[in-house]
Amino acid sequence: MSNEKKQSVTVKPWEHAKASEGSAADPLAARFVASLDYDTRLYKQDIAGSIAHAEMLHAQNLLTDDDLAAIKQGLAEIESEIDAKGDAWSGWNIELEDVHMCVEAALVAKIGDPGRKLHTGRSRNDQVALDLKMWIASAYHEIDKKHTALIESFVSLAEKDGEIVMPSYTHLQRAQPIVVGGELMAWVAAIDRAQQRLAALVHSYPENPLGSGAIAGSSLPLDRTHTAAALNVGSPSTSSIDGTASRDAGIDFVYALSMTAMTLSRWAEQWIIYASTEFSFIKLDDLYTTGSSMMPQKQNPDMLELVRGKVAGVYGQLVALLTMTKGITVGYNRDLQEDKRFIFAAYDAVCDCLDMAANIVKTTRFKDETIAAKLNEGFLDATSLAEYLVNRGVPFRTSHQIVGTLVRKCQAENLTELSNLSIEDMTAACSEFNVTFDQDVYDWLTPQNVVKRYQSSGNSGLPGFHEQLAHWKNVLANDAE
């Protein structure tokens, strides 16, 4: 290769207005402006966009048949090389700053002038906007599968342990009796909502930025609908300025990831508490606990704690994106190069957390005997007793007051359960309300009875759990088809 040919490949092709090498002459400047340490993962999207762009240029008589054939063949070879070698691909060159220029330089080295024609009517500004949009769409499909896998893990655990009766908690205080499956279905509902949020936000920007150029468009007869149809990325963006500089899709993507991370963090906190000696509701698999360097007996829920901890980083990526974009002008600014660093980091962290959560859920069991040993503490059936009275025509506020009186009576007599009271005790304690109790009151008492009596839609007792479990099994079966 001649020196002139070599120079045309390696010198930054956007620095021709400078008499010197520009930023390439300063190693710090070259490293400072480069994004190759994180944007190489866009290579498939970059190549797909380039092929669509080349086909459009050919349709508009801006490339010959031979040009198009050479470009497509060269890009296919480059993609195969990167597939095989990854980060070790010889075409990664920090002087060329990013994935786009590295791929283009490698193409020019392979095919010569046809490769130099590829950038006709295109800027890195609209090129990267397209690549990022396509990457988010691809990433969404991968993380969507991970949400589904986690839901499957919860459903599987619910099938095994779902009928165990346990306390529910508000304010971290015992509330009403539920079944384990009722709580597991709550996590399924939350994960499903996070999954649907991602789908809604990812698909809320159906626009193709390619063809916007650097900012103002092009005087060449570009057919933006051609590339839009070829890439299935929506219609051309209505504004070339906004098309190159908007990162709303990326911000919304990371917001949705943050909400998933928040849900996982709440679940991790719940199970950290449940795994403690004080609760001992669940047994975590040894794979997902760690010991102490000093205390031999410890089995710490480190994986759950790290799921909880990693949400801070995901929140940080969202705040970084919002902060980065708040002060830039309406057109493209180089600040936006950093967007991918934040987006990729948030995505990677949430993917890892979803995978870890699915593994933990699949290998965890609820401890029926331990839960049952203290199940009757805390008067979990108090609300049920109030509803018993409502069914006998007593206004709810009066019922609430009556049951509160009975709870105080139990506490004064060191009784742990409302069912320890006799019919006579109940009637005597509430004589001022002119209320009587019958033997059937005991059918409304004890957690085991209460979880069978829930009737309202979506309840977390046995009827609601069975209905929700059947629903989710059906959903998963249909998704698998």
Q: Residue 150 maps to which CATH number?
A: 1.20.200.10
Q: In this predicted structure, what is the pLDDT of residue 161? A: 98
Average pLDDT along the chain: 93
In a domain, 76, yes or no: yes
Does residue 364 share a domain with residue 271?
A: yes
Distances (CA, A) of 77 to 7, 89, 93, 230: 22, 12, 18, 20
Q: Tens of pLDDT along 418-456?
A: 999 999 999 998 888 888 899 999 999 999 999 999 999
The conformation of residue 446, written as its DSSP 8-state character, comes to S
CB 83 within 8 A of CB 20: no
Strand locations in 143-295 (E): 165-170, 173-179, 207-208, 235-236, 282-283
The conformation of residue 62, written as its DSSP 8-state character, comes to S
Amino acid making up residue 235: S
Q: Residue 42 maps to which CATH number?
A: 1.10.275.10
Q: Tens of pLDDT along 56-79?
A: 999 999 999 999 999 999 999 999
> Residues 158-175: what's their mean pLDDT?
97
In a domain, 380, yes or no: no
Does residue 207 share a domain with residue 100?
A: no
Does residue 141 share a domain with residue 282?
A: yes
In a domain, 116, yes or no: yes
Does residue 267 share a domain with residue 158?
A: yes
How would you classify the pairing of strands 282-283 and 173-179?
Answer: unpaired
Distances (CA, A) of 36 to 30, 92, 161: 11, 8, 48
Does residue 134 share a domain with residue 106?
A: no
Does residue 287 share a domain with residue 207?
A: yes
End residue of a domain, out of 373, 401, 418 = 373
In a domain, 173, yes or no: no
In a domain, 386, yes or no: no
Q: Quick check: 143 pLDDT over 80?
A: yes
Q: In this predicted structure, what is the pLDDT of residue 372? A: 97
Q: Tens of pLDDT along 91-121?
A: 999 989 999 999 999 999 999 999 999 999 9
Q: Tens of pLDDT along 24-44?
A: 667 788 788 888 889 999 999
Does residue 281 share a domain with residue 193?
A: yes
Q: Tens of pLDDT along 207-225?
A: 999 999 999 999 999 999 9
The total domain count for the chain is: 2
In a domain, 172, yes or no: no
Q: Which residues are catalytic?
A: 171, 292
Q: In this predicted structure, what is the pLDDT of residue 9? A: 42
Domain carrying residue 212: 125-163+179-217+238-373
pTM: 0.91
- Helix, strand, coil in percent for the chain, rounding step 5: 70, 5, 30
For helices 248-274 and 302-325, give the axis angle rounded to 10 degrees.
Answer: 160
User: How far separated are the first and last CA of the chain, in Å rounded?
Assistant: 55
Q: In this predicted structure, what is the pLDDT of residue 5? A: 37
The residues near 131 (Cβ < 8 Å, ≥ 6 apart) are 42, 45, 46, 49, 99, 100
Does residue 201 share a domain with residue 290?
A: yes
Distances (CA, A) of 208 to 126, 236, 325, 404, 457: 9, 4, 20, 63, 44
Does residue 270 share a domain with residue 202?
A: yes
> Residues 157-163: what's their mean pLDDT?
98
- Which residue in 107, 304, 302, 126 sits closest to 214, CA to CA? 126
The residues near 25 (Cβ < 8 Å, ≥ 6 apart) are none
Amino acid making up residue 12: K
Does residue 53 share a domain with residue 116?
A: yes
Does residue 207 share a domain with residue 65?
A: no
Does residue 208 share a domain with residue 344?
A: yes
